[in-house]
Structure 1
């Protein structure tokens, strides 16, 4: 039995009485031969009671053909019918580890195969955020073809996004990035010797007058884009035809709260009633991390992700200082956008007000060869 079902099973066990057909008194598990749980209490219950708990959890997301009164046909019913194996894949929290868990999983599968399954509410809960995000993107690009009362409006989507991030998955996606964390930033140039004197101001966030349209910022909005490795920073400027780039390593000078969308691990269990109602919210935020880092395709622009930042994340009630995200060039590499302009960049040890301080000893000029940092002969 999975740990999340122990408390509920204990309730059944406490109600058990001799000769009670609804709550029979049992003293050992048919799968693991244990007579007590880790707390020394009897939690042995009947198979039908156990499946009742499993079905209760599954009902968060699914209904059966019997409940719909509409078993699958050759078409025309409008439902997405699922195999027992697909439904069983959601039962991990109801199954323990080891050989007993394997047998239990098999038996649950047999029970699930007695009916056919589809998503609850025709899958609308599952699709709500998907449609809301598509409407948000369309609205951001001047289209209103998804403007409908049942689809989340852009304002409501951003409100739900704040709730998901700051309430539901806060501990998982809002880490404090400690002072001293180091990030690389590079600037391409035509000649071996750069046409600027490398410094925190010159290599930091582009000044407002030189800030161009980027993944999270509009023209004229200065933000710091940095990478965890020099090679990643070079990959990010592969659009440039300049044969050289000069880069350096910046240190963050104070603790920052950053939205980390690189590996959202929290996922609510459908067998925990307090968490189950947030299942699709968590599912959305996991997919959102992939959505914001993907390369643009023909006809797209950065307007939706820019708007998520300017109208959403930067206006959250609890301040967020930036985003950590997977590189569009390589999902195994990680980038940051920090919401600090050129005025917050400087050289390490130069005084107050600098949030991103360049360590001058790390400056180097390399060949801009699509992410391979090769020091040119005679280079700095």
Structure 2
């Protein structure tokens, strides 16, 4: 079913190849006194320390980022805190799957297109799953398994314009209008660290 899904994706405008030079993306972490703000702290976790994430399995680190500072903060912080926000720049040609467009594909009620409609519904469910909050209660590694399987298949098997894709662009569920990215290891060299700052966040007061 997943391989059929990939074939269906190839018939959409979801696969994109775009040249980026200095386009900014952002990562945020809640700041504490146990680490100094630096590129190594703000980048993806090394594989040897990578725990299971929403899209990455344990031991394989992905680079998660947002197109807007506000979205990056909202993804990690829901309270009053000091948040470190790093700006990275994309350089070079990025081959990616744009889920922000696929989610809007219309369902087809033509009986002969039933399978495609089911695949669109599956994609919508997948997009919901990669965006929704998951409680850190010790069971999150189980909750992550379905999205990890699909993402790993996309990372390893999907070709856009004959090349492996570098990552996925998708809508944020915690920030209206916000856009997130996840980059696979093959694309890390296209992401250059620029700077980082600490901001005070107090969502109760709207700041």
Residue of 99, 103, 106 corresponding to 1:261:
99
Residue of 174, 179, 188 corresponding to 1:334:
179
Unaligned runs of at least 5 residues, structure 1:
1-156, 345-353, 375-380
**Inter-CA distance 183–164: structure 2 relative to 1 (3 Å threshold):** same
1:357 aligns with 2:201: no
Structure 2 length-normalised TM: 0.77
The question of whether the paired residues in 2 share the 8 Å contact of 1:189 and 1:242 is answered with: no
Distance in 2, Cα, partners of 1:320 & 1:371: 39
Match of 1:332, SS state, is: coil
Question: Which structure exhibits the higher relative contact order, with contacts defined as CA atoms closer than 8 Å and separated by 6 or more residues?
Answer: 2
User: Which runs of structure 2 are paired with 1:143-154 in the superposition (5 Å)?
Assistant: none
Residues 202-246 of structure 1 show CA distances to partners (whole Å, capped at 9, x for unaligned) of 31111123322211012221110001111111111127x883222
Which residue pairs with 2:38 in the alignment? 198
Larger C-alpha radius of gyration, 1 or 2? 1
1:168 aligns with 2:11: yes
Distance in 2, Cα, partners of 1:164 & 1:331: 28
Unaligned runs of at least 5 residues, structure 2:
none
Cα offset for 1:372?
Answer: 8.5
Structure 1 length-normalised TM: 0.45
Which residue pairs with 2:62 in the alignment? 223
Residue of 78, 84, 87 corresponding to 1:249:
87
Distance in 2, Cα, partners of 1:320 & 1:279: 22
Count of residue pairs the alignment pairs up: 196
Distance in 2, Cα, partners of 1:328 & 1:368: 19
Cα offset for 1:197?
Answer: 4.3
Q: CA RMSD in A?
A: 3.2
